[in-house]
A and B are shown apart, each in its own frame.
Chain A
């Protein structure tokens, strides 16, 4: 019998499982899909399609890689790539965290002054990301009842913030609730530079560059990416999950795929196992869920067995996803440069794209992020709201595909004629196929009022739930959001502390 069941083989579930297996626990991971990785999967669908279907690239936190000895278990190399913003007049703005001469020259073509300021901006963003990284690994207290044991790590975090130096500390705190526009206006004069950074800030979020709090999401994305562009993973992002699965097996853990959990079994407000959709019951004294909090709590546990105020808070988690993907199988002659290509020429353009989502419409002029993997070109589309007004995703899919291809082809003239097949994922597909409630990639929007001691909801940031021995470890909890494994690491620590 397993000591611990982990629901969901996303990166966070696998990271948690590994830490627990490393601590000597018998861990069983149950995944509803036929393969592990969650949103970090490399999949083939249809002839010739082999792609990072959801998340385009990324890396696990270096401490996790080291703790779990993942290099030994086949963790693939990843390399940083530039963010390349495509402009209608054919100009390309290249941004990297290295401030290499190519980057500076590229920025200089937009503004000399901005090129001069770029290295300072990178240093500031790295400092801010470093602070966020520290915050994400600090156990959060159960506000409003802070105990001494919880106060100490918080005090250490405050020291870390102080360690940024008085000037940067002030700047980081001030930038968190700012909009991306306000923040970039203070650094750069070129609208093109502001827009490219604003696009990073709202990537994956239902926010515009003029929304309050995009300063924070910029720091968050910068931290996970390690700069403005995604990291490309050799042979696909699925390699991260493969390494974690290999490491888990080496530690005696088990993974069962095609094993959707239908219910968390409880007895007297205490978890005692799970029931699979097949009807099979699997018992274990501890259950950890890497699925999103709303699905875990309201579908798997069920509102009737939870306190009403808690149910209310769970229902109130802002989940509103508005990301779609359009994958194109080309004949290979797409002529894409390598890197994270974005269509986000002006701040207004991106803000307008977001406006559509506010009103339940698909952006007619969307913000796109385009990456290529051999002949497959993947388009990340924002904004395509989960909840459409006056339309259904079954019909809207064709609209989405047309807008995605037209917009991308405008920026990349050779693309259109190279397309052989199209495969799109609407927010509804994200929910149905990938188990993401409301198509929300982060299991809950990355908003300041849903972060740190308020993630997944105020008072419940300790990975615990009102059900004893049921813990949460996915992107929706503290540390989570993005490819990093931080939430899984934190949850494993909470489980080990809790026993």
Chain B
């Protein structure tokens, strides 16, 4: 007989499940997480953009990388220069296979000279172990042991300042510090997946509920709102942040070459350091691509509202757009030919625009290029005019301040 497959519960489940009015659960890396607490996403979305949103991101894969060669391992695996990384710094990075195609992306935090924490979307233990051959380093997965909360929104700093043992005013963008919340030791990084001011709080699973309660209490006056991952999905598109297996196919999951993407194709040029010393996985291929240029590029599409209105008006309707991020491939055309596809599209409440992340072929990926994106108008395929724009769509001044 088949045993029932149960999803794992995150360390915050006791709290999140009580608040989950909509019972809209999503699967994330084998865990059940809240998709949205309420029936509509508005309240949670606006918490990210206007107040403070509390998001359970515990299912992120987490690895502790420790030992004399810890930096060397990450230098080999990722595209960034880890030898130049200071203690307390966080790097966002992708990592590639030997053909320079992305396997996954995530963050690397330097906790001390010889210890790092890495997060990823996909299980990465085997890859790290394969790369660690011949190195004096220990790799431990701590996904289950370590809980993670993301506190995002313009008021997130004020909330943390109220409940942390130390003030966070000096903590710069993509840095981290150790402090405490209600006596529980935590590490707080100024990172997130929303493109807003925001922090991620890392804590031992046993102390997860303590910090949840402390944050909720401290944030009450600021309208802190538990937020599901669907609202975060809209925010991350606005921020031009992509997701493995939604916006690109991990090279080890791809069936065919054409499904793979390089960091250059994903617009991650700034994370690929070809001047760094020594070998790293994919170096040769990336050097070559840098020379010849990329065949594809991930860009933003800004769909023309008037054009969209016109298509719907033809059948006597106002524009209909799904109220959440949609991960479905939509053909993108130029001069009557398909030149790419949108991978995630969403209505952006803060910009009042219909936007999408799209993979476009050379030469159509230059900003300003006029294209069309497929929309379904009353069961018919139509093409809405759109413009190629630089990412991110939304970049508030307070994000890095």
> How far is A142 from B131 in the complex, measured between Cα atoms in Å?
24
A390 located at the interface, meaning its Cβ lies under 8 Å from any Cβ of chain B in the complex? no
A309-B98, A311-B133, A312-B130 known; A304-B284 Cβ under 8 A = no
The reply to whether B279 and A269 contact each other, CB–CB distance below 8 Å, is: yes
User: Does B283 lie within 8 Å of A308, measured CB to CB?
Assistant: no
A307 in contact with B278 given A269-B284, A298-B134 (CB within 8 Å):
no
Structural contact, B283 and A304, CB atoms closer than 8 A: no
Given the contacts A304-B72, A309-B98, A269 and B283 also touching, CB distance less than 8 Å: yes
| CA gap between A304 and B69 in the complex, in Å | 10
Chain B residues with CB under 8 A of A303: 133-135
* A312 cross-chain contacts in B, Cβ below 8 A: 130, 133
Given A303-B133, A303-B134, are A308 and B127 also a contact pair (CB < 8 Å)?
yes
Interface residues of A in 301-317 (CB under 8 A from B): 302-312, 315
**B281 proximal to A (CB < 8 A):** yes
User: Is B51 in contact with chain A by the CB < 8 A criterion?
Assistant: no
Closest partner residue, chain B, to A302 (CB atom): B134
Closest CB in chain B relative to A455 CB, distance in Å: 21
Contact A310 B278 (CB under 8 A): no
Is there contact, CB below 8 Å, between B98 and A304?
A: no
> B68-99: which have CB < 8 Å to A?
69, 72, 76, 97-98
Q: What DSSP secondary structure best describes chain A's contact surface?
A: helix
Interfacial residues of chain B within 96-153, with CB under 8 A of chain A in the complex: 97-98, 127, 130-131, 133-135
Residues in A neighbouring B72, C-beta threshold 8 A:
304
Chain B residues within 8 Å of A298, by CB? 133-134
Chain A 322-354 near chain B by CB (<8 Å), digits 1 or 0: 000000000000000000000000000000000
B130 touches A304 (CB 8 A): no
Q: Which residues of B contact A315 (CB under 8 A)?
A: 133
CB-defined contacts of B135 to chain A, threshold 8 Å: 303-304
Determine whether the beta carbon of A309 is less than 8 Å from that of B130. yes
Query: A269-B279, A269-B283, A269-B284 are known contacts. Are A307 and B134 too (CB-CB below 8 A)?
Result: no
**How distant is A313 from chain B, measured CB to nearest CB, in Å?**
11
- In the bound complex, CA of A462 to CA of B6 (Å): 50
CA distance A303 to B281 in the complex (A): 12
Interface residues of A in 212-235 (CB under 8 A from B): none
Mostly, the B contact residues are: loop
CA distance A192 to B63 in the complex (A): 60
Residue with the greatest number of chain A CB neighbours at <10 A, chosen from B69, B72, B98: B98
Q: A311-B133, A315-B133 are in contact. Are A305 and B278 (CB under 8 A)?
A: yes
Q: Which residue of A lies closest to B131 (CB)?
A: A308
Is A305 within 8 A of B279, CB to CB? yes
Q: In the complex the two chains form, is A306's CB within 8 Å of B279's CB?
A: yes
Residue of B nearest to A307 (CB): B98
Range of interface residues on A (Cβ < 8 Å): 10 to 19
Nearest CB to that of B283 among chain A residues? Answer: A269
CA A304 – CA B283 in complex, angstroms? 14
Q: Is the CB of B281 within 8 A of A304?
A: no
Q: Chain B's nearest CB lies how many Å from the CB of A422?
A: 39
Residues in A with CB closer than 8 Å to B98 are 307-310
The docked-state distance in angstroms from the alpha carbon of A309 to that of B135 is 16
In this complex, what residue of B is CB-closest to A306?
Answer: B279
Q: In the bound complex, what is the Cα–Cα distance between A307 and B95 (angstroms)?
A: 13
Which of chain A's residues have a CB closer than 8 A to the CB of B283? 269
In the bound assembly, the distance between CA atoms of A191 and B279 in angstroms comes to 57
CB pair A308–B281 under 8 Å, yes or no, is yes
Q: How far is the CB of A303 from the nearest CB of chain B, in Å?
A: 3
Cβ contacts under 8 Å, B134 to chain A: 298, 302-304, 311
Question: For residue B97, which residue of chain A has the nearest CB?
Answer: A309
| Contacting residues of chain A (267-319) with chain B, CB-CB under 8 angstroms | 269, 298, 302-312, 315
**B76 partner residues in chain A, CB cutoff 8 A:** 304
Q: How far is the CB of B274 from chain A (nearest CB, A)?
A: 11
Considering only residues 18-62 of chain B, those with a C-beta below 8 Å from chain A are none
Q: Which residue of A lies closest to B69 (CB)?
A: A304
* A-chain residues with CB within 8 Å of residue B97 when the two chains form the complex: 309
Chain B proximity mask over A45-88: 1 for CB below 8 Å, otherwise 0: 00000000000000000000000000000000000000000000
The CA of A312 and the CA of B76, in the complex, are separated in Å by 15
Residue of B at shortest CB range from A266? B279
Q: How far is the CA of A269 from the CA of B76 in the complex (A)?
A: 13
Chain B residue at minimum C-beta to C-beta distance from A267: B278
Identify the closest chain A residue to B133 (Cβ).
Answer: A303
Are A307 and B281 in touch, CB under 8 angstroms?
A: yes
- Cβ distance A267 to chain B, nearest Cβ, rounded Å: 10
Determine the chain B residues whose CB is within 8 A of the CB of A305 once the complex forms.
278-279
Closest to B129 in A: A308
Interface string of A153-174 (1 = CB under 8 A from B): 0000000000000000000000
Say how far A499's CB is from chain B's closest CB, in angstroms: 19
Most buried by B among A298, A307, A311, A315: A307
**Cα distance A176–B281 in the bound complex, in angstroms:** 38
Query: How distant is the Cα of A302 from the Cα of B72 in the complex, in angstroms?
Result: 13
Complex Cα–Cα for A305 and B133 (A): 10
B2 to chain A, nearest CB (A): 34
Residues of chain A with a CB closer than 8 A to B131's CB: 308
Q: Select from chain A the residue with minimum beta-carbon distance to B72.
A: A304
Q: Which residues of B contact A304 (CB under 8 A)?
A: 69, 72, 76, 133-135, 279
In the bound complex, what is the Cα–Cα distance between A179 and B285 (angstroms)?
Answer: 43
The reply to whether B279 and A311 form a contact with Cβ atoms under 8 Å apart is no
Cβ of B379 to closest chain A Cβ, rounded Å: 44
Question: Who on chain B is nearest to A310 by CB?
Answer: B98
Closest Cβ of chain A: how far from B119's Cβ, in Å?
20
Per the bound structure, the CA–CA distance linking A96 and B97 in Å amounts to 53
Min Cβ gap A263→B in Å is: 12
Distance of B153 from chain A, by nearest CB (Å)? 39
Chain A nearest CB: distance from B68 CB in Å? 12
A310 to B134, CA, bound (A): 13
Give the distance to chain B from A223, nearest Cβ to Cβ, in Å.
35
By a CB distance below 8 angstroms, the chain B residues around A269 are 279, 283-284
CA distance A310 to B131 in the complex (A): 10
Give chain A nearest CB distance to B178 CB in angstroms.
Answer: 30
Query: Closest approach, in angstroms, between the C-beta of B286 and any C-beta of chain A?
Result: 12
Chain B residues whose C-beta falls within 8 Å of the C-beta of A309 in the assembled complex? 97-98, 130
Q: How far is the CA of A298 from the CA of B127 in the complex (A)?
A: 18
The 0/1 profile, CB within 8 Å of B marked 1, for residues 455-495 of chain A is: 00000000000000000000000000000000000000000
Which B residue's beta carbon lies closest to that of A299?
Answer: B134
CB distance from B255 to the nearest CB of A (A): 15
Q: Hey, which chain A residues are within 8 Å of B69, CB to CB?
A: 304
Residue-wise, chain B 258-292 has the 8 Å CB interface mask toward A (1 for contact) of: 00000000000000000000110101100000000
Which residues on B sit within 8 Å (CB–CB) of A308?
A: 98, 127, 130-131, 133, 281
* Chain A residues with CB below 8 A from B284, complex form: 269
CA distance A306 to B133 in the complex (A): 10
Within 105-137 of A, Cβ neighbours of B (below 8 Å) are at none
Q: In the complex, what distance in Å separates the CA atom of A495 from the CA atom of B385?
A: 57
- A248 to B336 Cα, complex, angstroms: 68
Tell me, in angstroms, the Cα distance from A417 to B283 when the chains sit together. 66
Would you give the shortest CB distance from B103 to chain A, in whole angstroms? Answer: 10
Query: Are A311 and B278 in contact, with the CB atoms below 8 A?
Result: no
Q: Within 8 Å CB of A306, what residues of B?
A: 279
Least distance between A296 CB and chain B CB atoms (Å): 14
Q: Distance in Å from the Cβ of B155 to the closest Cβ of chain A?
A: 43
Q: Please measure, in the bound complex, the distance between the C-alpha atom of A274 and the C-alpha atom of B24, giving whole angstroms.
A: 62
Find the B residue at minimum CB distance from A314: B133
Report the Cα distance A309→B282, complex, angstroms.
Answer: 11
Q: List 10 A-B contacts (CB under 8 A).
A: A298-B133, A302-B134, A303-B134, A304-B76, A304-B135, A308-B127, A308-B133, A309-B97, A309-B98, A311-B130
User: Which 5 A/B pairs are nearest by Cβ-Cβ distance?
Assistant: A303-B134, A303-B133, A308-B130, A307-B98, A308-B131
Known: A305-B278, A311-B130; 6 extra A-B contacts, CB below 8 A, are A269-B279, A298-B133, A303-B135, A304-B279, A308-B130, A308-B131
Interface of A toward B, CB cutoff 8 Å: 269, 298, 302-312, 315
